[in-house]
Chain A
């Protein structure tokens, strides 16, 4: 899924190897360096130094801040297939700060953090995993004795761009769900003066993360983002519209209970709670762990984890999406009564349009609903009960 690269760093090569791969031999390279040295007024003798400097063209510095989170996003990135985490860290970027991977600890780690920020002012890419707890002066997450809020503010100040990696950094995730005990918020609630890319998901697919980083490094700009700051190349389409089980939805073939005959035939999981119709995600296309499978592929309904507020908006996870998700032309009604009679394309178009409104209404309703009302809501959602 990587784009063809134009810069040596993106290929994990130094300039020397990069040129060699393109047929520029060692002698040609040294001749070039000599010419550059003379042109710079350094004299021919400086050529080896110039060669050395060019060969050591810098890998783009990346700082990775881990705040209020579970490290699942880091784990996900270690599962990437192209480039692999080893290639990424050794050849593509200079990962100057990462709690999970870095050798240094304590003061030595914090010094590395400060030095990279200073040396690479305005040039480094900041990756953030985890939310920022704001309640009680942010005391609920500290690193080196400083609050997550303070650390993020400092690190974002001179970053070239900020990547909010995973649902926690995106919007606060589970700890920001009702009743949000620590006042957790996402990165874009704190960083407002520069672009923030939201890599949605709990966790996101590792390959989406590396593809976004490589996009930035290769093309020198961030990928196109949707209204929620998510890269369109990954989050541009609904799961429902790309699902490998979609034909069964259209044919009215549903899993009614787990492990039933429909499940064994790989039919649609809508009736056992699939949130694919309300979820924009790369899962069906990218798939997980080197294209091995994905949740619906393995027989479990989608939880909707790339959408803001999914712990409140998409639960109960095994309840059917309410009919109003797709307005007057309800998915549920469609599933129960229309079956294959209606052309899928038309429904998909209308559904996509109506979806945002529908989901918004669900969220709003659930946010307003006191906890005690949950059982009743559950009953609404469990259409099969």
Chain B
């Protein structure tokens, strides 16, 4: 049977620029290629700068997961300079990062992923009363009324009636892959709009502690937001009350809207629990230290590795087993492009040798992306919510086990169903529920500390460069919404000598590479029992790629002013 070449570029409803190419055969995907098509080179720009500024530079890698690089950077510098941040600062960072997860995952579900499963045009014929009946059977959310859904339907009808479909133009509406009844589509569209309003409220936790969102401010050694109950420009009772309100509203929406919607919609798409699994290898660095970040035993989400879908054995993570390959990337290595390099020996010499623009196909060339191929012990690894929840589940994490169990029970499937497109989307919901609840715990701890008289948010002992050693190096790990992240910094005579990051989307969007040349996680998922019914309307590709929540801006590498190679300085 003849294979059809397929190109989907741009992949929309993601962060950044991603191109997917495939070959379709008999309604299935036979082969797939993932290409990152943006390169910025931020890390070389950081050389020679004050390490206390590094968080702001690396934060600009991504404005969606807008706190993760900043926190990882602070941790790297604090590790290098041996700075322990005050307990309050750790709690504040957990609250900021936790709310980032919750807000980001909900927005991903409704605004980036939902339109792969929800047919907006079908919602126009949804019966508001029926939608209200279904919604009431799922959740006590007060807006789930026929009046509310009726108003949304009227608004949508008016919108469509203008003939200007705006962001809904050219969607794959009416594609047979859409399975939801009209009333469920209407309910989901209503919650799409409601989530837009919800997110801008709850994210204000960042604004209170960091002054703004996106890109809130951080501080090496703690946080700049000062606690003083008697102050007018500080964290006081008024601010604490506001934060509490946001946490409560975040939790309520997650429990009463997002989680029930996720489970209900998943119920119509159970076949996707056998599609899009991919590598079967998972890696998480762990996240949310309850104590000092160096106390790995205090991580709320545990660290670990799962290989070959083996949930019986969670392996330890050792960063020395990470290597990066460039066999299929637009780079070259001094020692030849077949070998892998550990990040500490890494090289980044861009060498574009693809076709001239405009491109028709990249799949015909050996190299096809700006992403390198990270491998752990030679193997591609998936990172992100599914990796975290599988490691937590397999490690006996009580809340994770309960929430995963609830989802599997509702769908009537076993744990093997987690290794799939649907499992990935479900795991994101699981961890959102866990974190929405955990926010309250961190908040209570912060309040208890303040009540006990501890208001310290900053450790000033190593602030001045005169207190630093002449050379230092540090590692900051963090698990971001999209997966494991690492920052490495070398400081010499008070300024940054080298800086590098290994970023979640590099793991997930990696091209072929490594000792066995295996495809990266996106590619492997698209080649795992994957349908593509109509190559002109590639909705199935969007479903699986969106289940990873791509964040491509991280795909940046370094070259110096003269284009000469700078080793060991890399963000990707």
Interface of A toward B, CB cutoff 8 Å: 14, 55-56, 58-59, 61, 66, 68-76, 78-81, 84-86, 89-91, 93-96, 98-112, 116, 133, 136-147, 150, 173-175, 177-182, 184, 202-203, 205, 244-245, 257-260, 263-266, 283, 288-290, 292-301, 303, 311, 315-319, 371-372, 374-375, 378, 382, 385
Contacts and interface: CB of A to CB of B under 8 A. Distances in A.
B214 A14 contact: no
B336 interface: no
Given A79-B200, A90-B166, A102-B13, A266 B52 contact: no
B200 A103 contact: no
Contact of B42 (A139, A174, A382): A174
28 contacts: A56-B161, A73-B63, A75-B66, A93-B166, A100-B12, A100-B112, A102-B169, A103-B168, A109-B170, A112-B170, A133-B39, A140-B39, A140-B370, A144-B9, A146-B358, A174-B40, A175-B42, A181-B559, A257-B460, A258-B219, A266-B232, A288-B211, A293-B211, A296-B211, A298-B208, A299-B225, A318-B52, A385-B464
A136 B494 CA distance: 34
B23 to A, nearest CB: 15
Contacts of B48: 371-372, 374-375
Contacts of A290: 200-201, 204
Interface stretch (B373-381, B383-391, B429-437, B536-544): B536-544
B207 interface: yes
Range of interface residues on chain B? 35 or more
A257 B201 CA distance: 32
A84 B200 contact: yes
A265 B45 contact: no
A68 B38 contact: yes
A316 B49 contact: yes
Nearest to A59: B164
A382 B465 CA distance: 10
Contacts, number: 352
A316 B457 CA distance: 22
A48 to B, nearest CB: 14
Given A264-B231, A290-B200, A317 B50 contact: yes
Contacts of A175: 40-42, 45
B226 A289 contact: no
B357 A146 contact: yes
Given A137-B356, A137-B357, A298-B210, 20 more contacts: A71-B16, A75-B63, A81-B200, A84-B197, A86-B193, A90-B193, A101-B13, A103-B171, A106-B11, A140-B39, A141-B39, A174-B40, A179-B45, A179-B560, A258-B458, A289-B207, A289-B213, A298-B207, A300-B224, A382-B465
B141 interface: no
A187 to B, nearest CB: 17
A78 to B, nearest CB: 7
B170 A111 contact: yes
A106 B538 contact: yes
A378 B217 contact: no
Interface stretch (B53-61, B317-325, B415-423): B53-61
A205 B213 CA distance: 9
Contacts of B169: 96, 102-104, 112, 116
B162 interface: yes
B440 interface: no
A100 B270 CA distance: 27
A140 B358 CA distance: 13
Contacts of B203: 79, 289
Contacts of A105: 8, 10-13, 538, 542
Nearest to B60: A174
Interface in B212-234: 212-217, 219, 221-222, 224-228, 231-234
B283 interface: no
Contacts of B137: none
B546 to A, nearest CB: 10
Contact of B170 (A104, A141, A257): A104
Contacts of B558: 181
A213 to B, nearest CB: 14
A164 B63 CA distance: 17
A103 B119 CA distance: 10
Contacts of B201: 290
Contacts of B208: 292-293, 298
B77 interface: no
B381 to A, nearest CB: 24
Nearest to A294: B211
Nearest to A167: B60
Nearest to B194: A86
